[in-house]
Amino acid sequence: MPRYNAAFEIHVHGEVMLRPEVTFEQLQEALKPIWKYAGARSLTDAATSTYEEEPGLRFDPKEHMLQMCWTVPGEDDFRQAADDMCMNLNELTSKGAAIEVTFYDVEFDEEEDGDGDSRDDFVMLFVGPDPAAIMQVQRDLLVQDVVNMMERHFDGAELAGVVAEIDKLFGQRFDALVNSLEVGRAPRGTGGAPGAGHGGRRPRHLH
């Protein structure tokens, strides 16, 4: 049911590249956690945002892309729906992508004299066909944030060492993931453990 007295306006934003063979029906099933949360009966029913100027939830079959610029009233429990959606989307993606989820406190008025604090919150979620693709997006975003901040004080050419250290950290995380998958892998000739196939490809830049 629609949440008319919800504590938050929740904005979901991102662009997700999909595999060429993905159909609208598959995407509708993957996004079911959030359109059901909105009280809709289908993706088409839920695709329109609370705000007319926002594109909402759009599937572009020519570009093989899911575009998300969608606001819905809700509560903190939307986080679980968003997590479930991301788990579903992983299988449909062709590359890694970030999805921003922002919670705006509808009861907080910045123009008032400040009785209480805003409950605004922000969550960054990631989807991708495998862990390497997801880590690549995380790495690229972190590098962008760090470089933007440090360029206030240093020339961009001076930051190569900082970027190398970030790559080293992500490389260690990726190696730890591969090792954990190797531990769960069955002996050769008896079939692999579920998920073990994700361990082979290291993200770009992570040397």
- CA-to-CA separations, 46 to 2, 81, 96, 189, 191, in angstroms, rounded: 11, 14, 25, 48, 42
Residue 176 buriedness (CB in 10 A; 0-12 / 13-18 / 19+): exposed
Distance CA 173, CA 149 (A): 24
Q: Which residue has the higher pLDDT, 125 or 161?
A: 125
Per-domain residue ranges of the chain? 8-129, 133-199
| Average pLDDT of the segment spanning 82-99 | 97
Please identify, in words, the CATH class of the domain defined by 8-129.
alpha beta
> Is 128 within 8 Å of 201 (Cβ atoms)?
no
Q: Which residue has the higher pLDDT, 177 or 129?
A: 129
pLDDT digit string, tens, across residues 12-43: 999 999 999 999 999 999 999 999 999 999 99
pLDDT(3) > 80? no
> One-letter amino acid identity for 117?
D
Q: What mean pLDDT value characterizes the chain?
A: 83
Two tokens at 26? 């598959």
pLDDT value of residue 12: 98
pLDDT value of residue 203: 52
Name the percent of the chain lying above pLDDT 90: 54
Sign of CA dihedral 107, 112, 113, 114: positive
Distance CA 132, CA 204 (A): 9
pTM of the model: 0.76
Distance CA 60, CA 198 (A): 28
pLDDT value of residue 207: 41
